[in-house]
Amino acid sequence: MATVQEFISSAAPVGSQQVAARYSIGVKAAMVRSIMADLEEAGFLAQPHVSAGRVPTDKAFRYYVNHLLLSSRIAFEDRAQIELHYSSRPRDLEDVMRDTPRLLALLTGQAALVMAPRLESMTVERVNFVRLRERQVLAVFVATADTMQNRLIDAERDFSQEELNRMARYLNESLVGRSLDEARRWIERQLMEERAAYDQFMREALSLGEGAIADSLDRTEVYVEGSVKALEQPEFADPERMRELLRALDDKSALLDLLERAIRQKGLMVSIGSENYDPRLAGLSVIAASYATGSTPVGSVAVVGPVRMEYDRVIPLVEYTARTLSRLLEH
Specify the pTM. Answer: 0.76
CATH class belonging to 2-56:
mainly alpha
Q: Which of 232, 236, 248, 290 is nearest to 114 (CA)?
A: 290
Spans of all domains in the chain:
2-56, 67-118+220-329, 120-217
- Tell me the C-alpha distance between 239 and 20, whole Å: 34
Q: What is the pLDDT of residues 133-169, one digit of tens each?
A: 888 888 887 776 556 667 788 888 899 999 999 999 9
- Tell me the C-alpha distance between 141 and 103, whole Å: 29
The pLDDT assigned to 120 comes to 65
In the beta sheet, which residues pair with residue 223? 114
The pLDDT assigned to 50 comes to 67
- Tell me the C-alpha distance between 78 and 89, whole Å: 19
Residue 83 pLDDT grade (very low, low, confident, very high; cuts 50, 70, 90): very high
Q: Is the pLDDT of residue 110 over 60?
A: yes
120-217 placed in CATH 3.30.390.60 = yes
Cβ-based burial of 51 (10 A; exposed 0-12, middle 13-18, buried ≥19):
exposed
- Tell me the C-alpha distance between 294 and 329, whole Å: 9
Q: Is the pLDDT of residue 51 over 60?
A: yes
Q: Which of 120, 133, 125 is nearest to 164 (CA)?
A: 133
Q: Report H helices in 218-282.
A: 227-230, 239-251, 253-265
Q: What is the pLDDT of residues 255-297, one digit of tens each?
A: 778 888 888 887 899 999 989 887 778 888 999 999 987 777 8
Identify the weakest region by mean pLDDT among 51-55, 77-81, 118-122, 184-188.
Answer: 118-122
- Tell me the C-alpha distance between 21 and 187, whole Å: 69
Q: Is the pLDDT of residue 40 over 80?
A: yes
> What's the CATH code, domain 67-118+220-329?
3.30.450.40
Mean pLDDT of the chain: 83
